[in-house]
Chains A and B, each alone.
Chain A
Amino acid sequence: MATAYPASSSVPLALEGISVAYGERPAVQQLSLTVQPGEIYGLLGSNGAGKTSTIKAIVGLVRPVAGEIRVFGLDALRDGLATKARIGYVPETSMLYEALTPREFLEFVASVRQMDAATATRRMRSYAEAFRLEAELEEPIATLSNGTRQKVLIIAALLHAPPLLVLDEPLNSLDPRSVRIMKDVLLRYVASGGRGVLFSTHTMEVAEQLCQRVGILDRGVLRGEGSLAALRERVAAGDASLEEIFLRLTEEDVGVRAAVDSLGDPSV
């Protein structure tokens, strides 16, 4: 039962003008982006910018009202099961089967992914060891801390070595050691060739360290996209940090100053 992914295109992810709406409220508007082979693409944005809605559309949790999503050339909206088989997903919130233990949950995921026992066991053991999760593997998930649950979700996403990782704030709740491991895992992951990672975060430092390119979402619209150097050039700021670039592109730099000024002295 070895996992195989006959790719019909080498591009891990391509979004073409997708729009997502909840009722009459638009969450994402006409978003287009691609994740190239060997690339970690960072999706940046404030709270409510549309990052999670974009990711949910990619993994099939919400249906876009317009646009096209292709995973290695496959139409995600028409061939959902085939595209889901190629994706490893870490959701923003640790939503798991609370009554299962991590081992039971990973066994369920490995079964759905139709993995062979030896590979699934080997990967589960090595990731559990790396994330120091062995002691919790047989504890019910309901009893685990948020950080431990996040580790379980990360292992579940990596278990079948998918060619595309879609990670929604994956470093949330992780301890510094696990954050470091996760960063190194992602860098090695894309270095092995052909794979892609879409990574949402609002932590600019992480994006600067990890991502070859970033896309800046603001109220559902892509305000800018490119490497850090390209974005600096675009906002005409030679040594600006990603945070400064982000604020300028989302036109929040003035707003932030005004908001802080309006607060006055916090002790008053």
Chain B
Amino acid sequence: MSWREALRLSNVAFTELSLQAVYAFRQGNVLPPGRSKNLVARSRRLVVQSKVVISAVLALLTLGAAAILHLKAQSPQIFSSIPAGLFQSAILTGLLSLDIALLWWTGVQVIPTLISSGVLPVLEPLPIDPRTFRRVAGILYLRLFDFPALTIIILTPIAVGIALGPLAGLAALPGAVVAVIYALALSLLTGRFFLRRVQGSRGGGGRTVVRWAYLVLWLVPAFAMFGFITAAPAFFRALGGLAVQGPSVGSGLLVAAFPFSFAALPAIVAGGPSSVAILSPTLDLVLGVAAAAYLALAAWSVVWLSRSVRTLLFLPVLTSVSPPAATFSLRPMSRARAVLVKDLRIASRTPGYAFLILLPILDAGALGLLTYATPAQNPVAASLALGAVTTAALLATFFGPAFFAIEVIAYSYGRSLPLSNRSVILGKVALIGSMYLIAAALIVGLTLLRFFEPFTFVAFVLVELPAVLGAALFELGLLFRWARRRGLAITNLYAGAWVAVLVSVPGLIMAGLPPLLFDLARSSGVGFGLEVMTLVAVVELAISMPVAFGRGAS
């Protein structure tokens, strides 16, 4: 059979994948009331919408990077401690890192759906030759990333070309292509890891702890997306230091590291090797060898991807063969707690959800540690600590709606149980509140060692809690109302990103308003600032109650 036939079959498989990603019929979801027509077209449209949202974010990042490059070219006094070429390389390093992180994150979200939807195993019994089958799998895999990947590959050279000149733009192309290939390979690699080590892990004993430990390790690269933004000031300071030193071991490590070795190419084309300042003839060679090695690795990744995609979609989950325990017991709990425990157990075998739980906590650790980079007794550092708590609150609230998507798993069965929306909402709000408290406790623990202001820090954390709970109640209340009306209960990044983003907006405002007012009011005293914050947070919690538990929601 031909490529044309493979394309046709992959189109059928992609349609099925879209349908399952949105409506989850294979997980028992029922037909939405009154909307049985055009389900296929609607699901494809929703998937396209989500891809467009992700592509738009990538495009904004790219255009933002280009705008910064243009600004630096117009006003060299900005970041004057860093030579122009090194600055351009740093910005493109950040952009390529973010591109990989976002594309990889998308893959992490969609690959479990791809596997559970079983779209390729359905085709297996048909008389399709192995080569065509491999092509179908490859095309299907590429289609998961098509718009976002094309955005990176097309827009990066154009944007860099506009900012630094056409030749520099062309020099940005290899980095963009390699970044996309790596993201696709990482998605597949972590997909296999997920199947073998996380989804296939037995329950009970200390295995849950081991799974979470695996997940933390696994998520650290994905954390780069947020961590890079957080660590950007420190990164620029380090670059300034390297520029002063000139060529050094540190410079050698930097030019050999991906994606800097590609990000430096446009700057070298635009301003020559001297513009990057940290280069020398030896380091030029290191950069060239590193770039060639990364290109070779990308080429090997393409071959590996073409061979492995099909295997992944048929990969049986590996399980241990250890003998079962002699006795098992059940420990029933309250309904809301059961929802919380169920979500944590599911997240411990589902990296997409684990990421949402771990990100605010990892971020809190990173921000808490960042305060150590500021001089002691610096009021800015104390503000940084309070800002870190606010960030934890905002992150916990922003990702809250995504936990609603867990209910799509076995959605139908769950609705046959005597479980009220109220219990479900309470369970999920408890999860979001716990995430915030753990992240905030981590920050307080780290910063108290540095700035001993226990009353202010602990009071700030506790006063913000009602606002976080209120925001979570508000978001989940809206989602339940929406799901009831539309009969479509999915809000993951791949199939319904716009819903999750839309619902997050009022939640972010609710979680962000009390700290903002604290900041404005504390010039009249910290105590007054905390009083204002308390009042607003409690009012927000009161307002959100009817949204979550009033008529039409629960």
Contact = CB atoms under 8 A, between A and B. Distances in A.
Interface of A: 1, 22-23, 25, 56, 59-63, 81-82, 84-85, 87, 89, 91, 93, 95-101, 103-104, 106-117, 120-121, 124-125, 128, 134-140, 142-143
B349 A125 contact: no
A23 B34 contact: yes
B4 interface: no
A169 B29 CA distance: 18
Contacts of B27: 95, 98
Interface stretch (B325-333, B374-382, B431-439): B325-333
A114 B416 contact: no
A191 B412 CA distance: 30
Interface string B328-361: 1111111101100110011011100000000000
27 contacts: A25-B36, A61-B412, A89-B413, A89-B416, A91-B413, A93-B26, A93-B28, A95-B410, A97-B342, A101-B204, A104-B203, A104-B342, A109-B417, A111-B332, A114-B335, A121-B330, A124-B328, A124-B330, A134-B328, A137-B324, A137-B328, A138-B202, A138-B328, A140-B349, A142-B317, A143-B200, A143-B317
A113 B335 CA distance: 8
Contacts of B28: 91, 93, 95
B426 to A, nearest CB: 13
Give the secondary structure class of B's interface: loop
Given A61-B415, A91-B412, A116-B332, A22 B203 contact: no
Interface string B404-418: 000001101101111
Interface string B183-204: 0000000000000000111111
A60 B420 CA distance: 12
Contacts of A106: 330
B30 interface: yes
Contact of B330 (A22, A95, A100, A107): A107
B319 A1 contact: no
Interface residues of B, number: 51
B230 interface: no
Contacts, number: 156
Contact of A81 (B199, B323, B418): B418
A134 B420 CA distance: 31
Given A23-B34, A81-B420, A140-B319, A117 B412 contact: no
Contacts of A138: 202-204, 324-325, 328
B346 A111 contact: no
A85 B420 CA distance: 11
Contacts of A81: 418-420
A93 B413 CA distance: 10
Contact of A140 (B202, B324, B334): B202
Nearest to A116: B332
A163 B412 CA distance: 22
B199 A140 contact: yes
Given A23-B34, A95-B410, A104-B203, A82 B332 contact: no
Interface string B22-37: 0000111011011111
B29 to A, nearest CB: 8
Interface in B32-46: 33-37
A120 B338 CA distance: 15
A139 B199 CA distance: 10
B116 interface: yes
B323 to A, nearest CB: 8
A108 B414 CA distance: 10
A82 B419 CA distance: 10
Contact of B409 (A98, A109, A110, A117): A98
A61 B30 contact: yes
Contact of B203 (A60, A85, A101): A101
B331 A107 contact: yes
Nearest to B37: A23
Contacts of B331: 107, 117
Contact of A114 (B31, B332, B341): B332
A139 B338 contact: no
Nearest to A141: B410
A128 B413 CA distance: 20
Contacts of B420: 81
